[in-house]
Structure 1
Amino acid sequence: MKKLKLALLLFVAVVAASFTLVTSEKGYEIGSIATDFTLKNIDNQIVSLRDMKDAKGYIVIFTCNHCPYAVAYEDRIIALDKKYKKLGYPVIAINPNNPEKQKEDSFEKMQVRAKEKGFTFPYLFDEGQKIYPQYGATKTPHVYILEKTNKGNVVKYIGAIDDNHADESAVKEKYVENAVNALLNNKEVSVKTTKAIGCSIKV
């Protein structure tokens, strides 16, 4: 009987620990207030969301150098920044990967890649991997659209950039563009969450 009670207690403890782990790593949901961050850009300057005084919101994208999914989206990310930065929604790219686990995602390689591709947006290094868990990002790329309000930066969309990573010409749903367009027109975002498709974040 004592063994049964002990086994039951252990089971409950494991379930409780698992639940705590899941909830603590869940990250932001639609409607969450996203905290600001202070991260180093590829030009060695420190960047925070609050520095962008004229922004109406932000297209925060967790991405990296090595992942083929991230690489496939680079031109589309540049296009998003060029289109929406002037309208108040700049792209903020963040590399969440541990460079000790993936050498191609070192800060120095980030600088090289940004120069090669002509990135028009900040490409920040999540040193110590402190920011991506707050957001709940799991893939590269993984998008969070934030709207600046009096309450703070409200999460309005989470997920993929569009519905076809492999072939831009075959895209039918441009999730990020649709969401930002809705916000710019003071409308409700119709598709608030989608499944991010990409490489797992290297920890």
Structure 2
Amino acid sequence: MKSFMSWSLTGLLSLLLIQSVNAQNTKGYNLGDAVADFRLKNVDSRQISLTDYRTQKGLIVVFMSNHCPFSQAYEDRLIALDHKFSSQGYPVLAIMPNDPKAYENDSFKNMQARSIEKGYPFAYGMDETQATARAFGATRTPEVYVLKQTNAQFILEYVGTIDDSPQDSESVQRRYIDEAVTSLLAGRPVQSPITKPIGCAIKWK
């Protein structure tokens, strides 16, 4: 009986430890939080950071990857969002958070090739240590965070998916990112500030 109780207690502690680690992996910024600065290696090999966008009104941060079919399905829509909002002070910043050892398509070399092939008008940085993805609490690609610059800080105003039709752009009913940025530009609160991201799970190291 004693050994059974001891085993049960050990198993319970192990389970709690696993749950704690998982919680840490997905813990991130909440709405209204100020986002800390970060540095990434862009596809042009220069270092980029959040402070590089200090002249902007805000930023559309999207975690995406080359291999994920959901990310691929949204590429043209992300390009369209950047074309629409970058001139209004809300450019797109794409971040690749995956361990490239999991998928060769997500290597830095292939990020560069994809950026050229699709003609990305926005920066596409590699989160080599995955520290930025963990700080945001990102879990999927694509997953989007809309930030508004307030008092020299970037404040999280929206987190979730791009729209409500990941596989068919012709069937979109709600354009969540478009709605969020349009509201922020008009000085209004975001109507649907949290939505469920739909995509591939981030491949952690």
* TM, length-normalised to structure 1: 0.93
**Equivalent in the alignment of 1:160:** 161
Structure 1 position 188 matched with structure 2 position 189: yes
- What is the rounded CA distance, in whole Å, between the counterparts of 1:122 and 1:187 in structure 2? 28
Structure 1 distance, partners of 2:19, 2:98, is 25
Q: Aligned to 1:112, what secondary structure does the other structure show? A: helix
Which secondary structure does the structure 2 equivalent of 1:74 belong to?
A: helix
Q: Which moved more, 1:13-22 or 1:154-163?
A: 13-22
Task: State the partner residue of 2:85.
Answer: 84
1:17 aligns with 2:8: no
1:48-67 maps to which residues of 2 (within 5 A)? 48-67=49-68
Segments of 5+ residues of structure 2 without an aligned counterpart are none
Match of 2:134 in 1: 133
> Is 1:30 equivalent to 2:31 in the alignment?
yes
Name the aligned partner's letter for residue 13 of structure 2.
Answer: A
User: What is the aligned partner in structure 1 of residue 103 from structure 2?
Assistant: 102
Aligned-residue offset at 1:30: 1.6
Contact 2:42 2:124 in 1 (8 A): yes
Q: What percentage of aligned pairs have identical amino acids? A: 43
Q: How far off is 1:33 after superposition?
A: 2.0
Name the CA distance, whole Å, in 1 between partners of 2:130 and 2:173: 34
Letter in 1 for 2:81: L
Alpha-carbon deviation of 1:23?
Answer: 3.2
The residue type equivalent to 2:36 in the other structure is T
Question: 1:64 deviation in Å?
Answer: 1.1
Deviation at 1:134, TM superposition (A): 1.3
Q: What TM-score does the superposition give when structure 2 sets the normalisation length? A: 0.92
Q: State the 1:9 CA deviation.
A: 3.7
- Could you tell me which runs of 5 or more consecutive residues in structure 1 were left unpaired when the two chains were aligned: none
Deviations 1:90-142 (A, max 9, x none): 10000111111100011111111110111000000111222111111111110
**CA distance in 1 between partners of 2:94 and 2:38 (Å):** 12
**What secondary structure does 1:34 align onto?**
coil
Q: Residues of 1 paired with 2:168 and 2:127: CA distance?
A: 29
In structure 1, C-alpha distance between the alignment counterparts of 2:104 and 2:48, rounded to whole Å = 23
Alpha-carbon distance between aligned partners in 1 of 2:106 and 2:85, rounded to the nearest angstrom: 26
Partner of 1:40: 41
Other-structure match for 1:6: 6
C-alpha displacement of 1:54: 1.6
Question: How far apart are the structure 2 equivalents of 1:152 and 1:23?
Answer: 26
Q: Which amino acid aligns with 1:53?
A: R
What residue identity is the alignment partner of 1:10?
T
Amino acid at match of 1:96: P
Separation in structure 2 between the aligned mates of residue 53 and residue 194 of structure 1, nearest angstrom: 27
Structural RMSD (CA): 1.6
- Alignment check: 8 A CA contact 2:54 2:152 kept: no
Amino acid at match of 1:141: P
Give aligned pairs, total.
203
Report the residue type matching 1:20 in the other structure.
S
